[in-house]
Chains A and B, each alone.
Chain A
């Protein structure tokens, strides 16, 4: 442990530390998948990490594993110095803020904007019998919502279900960061939006994450986003981290480079399948 710390100063102040994480779903059935095959990962405090990968590469599983929607089969997860490996999802919420792919997942549709934010303002804290809403909170809420420039500051008593996907996703992002999270998880949070709303939400993401130096993992399919945003890119493939690019190399990275790497992965995959077919022909 101490040897590792001496080797890499970054690891000492790691906000997230994953060691030997393994997970298999549907064990023993034909649908068995292994989205985590011994993942080791250190994320220093304040780093903005972009996670890329094809379908079934394990990128969403990595985020869900950090959020605690399932328990690891093997390995450990530390967030901000706490060993959270055995913490249930709702307990990890004290450290983790999340925005989901589906814009409807992050807000309670029947409740008003103000009530949704009152819930977010107590993320990971005990909830008692005090009024959920009061005048100072509503004023602060109006101020912060005005910053979105969506005209929602006059509608904080509207049911949130009446808003568009883009508006709801922007609000969810604001809710996830209302109390500063030690780790922010964004799971393809613009994938379900129209291009204009997606751009708005991405701009907001960049603004919030960089101005407050939040430790962030963001899954995306959009290469342009991956190139423009963040300090580091993880490319996942079959439950492993295939490429890990940060620092100057990340800043030099272009969309073409990423596409080339994906093409490389695809070729390898074809090769694997060809090899499997060959084996099958020889032995069956």
Chain B
């Protein structure tokens, strides 16, 4: 039970990463590997501020998110102003961020060591609200702190999802979607496509870094390696989400990504419980995304496919 609860919390936290990847992958149609660096960047900045500086955890979390937005802006500038291939732009920034992250943290791993973080705040809040160190959930004893953490992580996912849903229905957000869908059209309607792309990648990596910052606080440390493979993980959330909801609209697509993130984490927790070697996890994730990308077209082969550019 505690294993599943932990997976649920992780699923909610990492759904922010999934939503960030959803923005770059579904709106701009690029798999932006900056994510692997910006997730760690968000975690590193938050950890360095909280541990080294005693900064307020909330401010440190926001700073982590801003760091990710900065990384996304750089990737966007490389793609637009310097006309570098989107994939290569991401690789360059991700690689550069590896050094930046080590500089920010000063070493490869920074534990929070009981310093006040959003994690400790949530645990205290949970104990204060429930008035007991643990409660029964369907017969299992669950720590009050864990219950508060999972609730607030879920709220964060719902909040971010709602903000995205609102944003992509505004004039600005609609134009951003169009700039990924048909750049020629929206340029002819007066939108500066390059600016929208930079803004969109900043938004995407900001969400990823926020996820990274929360992840570091949840697991109690920031690590230089923690971002590796995260873009593939985010893609898995997006793709599973689309399979779960059918993604008939923007709202379903966003809800689906959160569901996909949670669902996949639970699957992983169960698989680990049955003895899956944690070292094989990234191989399994990559194989899973590969299958999810290829299967639909294999199944659809032979059927007349309607393709409109």
Min CB distance, B74 to chain A, in Å? 23
When the two chains form their complex, are residues A108 and B181 in contact, meaning their CB atoms are under 8 A apart? Answer: yes
Bound CA–CA A89/B167 (angstroms): 26
Min CB distance, A120 to chain B, in Å? 6
- Which of these, B181, B182, B193, contacts A90 with CB under 8 Å? B193
Instruction: Please report the number of residue pairs spanning A and B whose Cβ atoms sit closer than 8 angstroms.
Output: 95
**Stretch binding the partner chain, chosen from B48-56, B82-90, B112-120, B169-177:** B169-177
Given A119-B174, A127-B175, A131-B169, A107-B185 contact (CB < 8 Å): yes
Contacts of A128 in B (CB 8 A): 170-172
Does B190 lie at the interface of the complex (its beta carbon under 8 Å from any beta carbon of A)?
Answer: yes
Min CB distance, A49 to chain B, in Å? 19
When the two chains form their complex, are residues B188 and A89 in contact, meaning their CB atoms are under 8 A apart? Answer: yes
Q: How many residues of B contact A (CB 8 A)?
A: 24
Bound CA–CA A247/B309 (angstroms): 42
Given A108-B177, A111-B178, A161-B308, A130-B188 contact (CB < 8 Å): no
B-contacting residues, A91-110, CB 8 Å: 91, 93-94, 96, 98, 100, 104-110
When the two chains form their complex, are residues A118 and B308 in contact, meaning their CB atoms are under 8 A apart? Answer: no
Given A104-B308, A128-B170, A132-B173, A93-B185 contact (CB < 8 Å): no
When the two chains form their complex, are residues B191 and A90 in contact, meaning their CB atoms are under 8 A apart? Answer: yes
Bound CA–CA A98/B185 (angstroms): 9
Does B103 lie at the interface of the complex (its beta carbon under 8 Å from any beta carbon of A)?
Answer: no
- Which of these, A94, A110, A161, contacts B190 with CB under 8 Å? A94
- Which of these, A96, A106, A118, contacts B174 with CB under 8 Å? A118
Bound CA–CA A105/B303 (angstroms): 27
Contacts of A175 in B (CB 8 A): 189
Bound CA–CA A124/B189 (angstroms): 6
Residue of B170, B171, B174, B190 with most partner-chain A CB within 10 A: B190
Bound CA–CA A161/B177 (angstroms): 15
Given A90-B192, A94-B190, A98-B188, A127-B172 contact (CB < 8 Å): yes
- Which of these, A111, A118, A120, A123, contacts B181 with CB under 8 Å? A111
Closest 6 CB pairs of A and B: A93-B190, A124-B190, A108-B181, A127-B171, A132-B174, A108-B178
9 contacts between A and B (CB under 8 A): A93-B188, A105-B182, A107-B185, A109-B308, A111-B181, A115-B178, A116-B178, A128-B170, A130-B171
